[in-house]
Amino acid sequence: MKYKLTDEKMEYYGRTLYRIEALKDFSDIKAGDLGGWIESEGNLNQEGNCWVADEALVFYEARISDNARVFEDARVLGNALVSGNAEISDNAHVYGNARISGNARVYGNARVFGNAHIYENARVFGDVEIKNGYVR
């Protein structure tokens, strides 16, 4: 196991989220580092270098896998999947059935939702909303 749920918890939109703590060194994460907030171990894969950091939140059925990162004040929720080397940061929100993969980056105040797919080397940022589209 690379991380555990700590006893530190918060309520957010009626869900209980737990801060995570790294149990071993991987990538630029060191054992003992505190991460962001997830609802359950189903939200963050124990394999790969994926991580949730800072005050980022991942909940409902959302999943972070591979080497993906979610950090700063980003939110990933619903049935969203963030995988590959993708990064979600700043105040970006990814939700619904959105899929973010490859080397894609979603940041700023961007909102990606519905059945949107952001992949390859795409960059989505600023005050943009993407719903049900494909961006690469």
- Write out pLDDT tens, residues 72-106: 999 999 999 999 999 999 999 999 999 999 999 99
- Write out pLDDT tens, residues 25-58: 999 999 999 999 999 999 999 999 999 999 999 9
Instruction: Give mean pLDDT, residues 62-67.
Output: 98
Q: Among residues 77, 36, 33, which one has the least CA distance to residue 55?
A: 36
User: DSSP class of residue 133?
Assistant: -
Q: Above 90 in pLDDT, residue 136?
A: no
| Structure-token match 């979610």, residue found | 70
Q: What are the respective helix, strand and coil percentages of the chain, to the nearest 5? A: 0, 45, 55
Query: How many domains is the chain partitioned into structurally?
Result: 1
Residue ranges making up the domain that contains 14: 3-135
Looking up residue 46, the CATH number of its domain turns out to be: 2.160.10
- Under 8 Å between Cβ of 52 and 45: no
- Under 8 Å between Cβ of 56 and 38: no
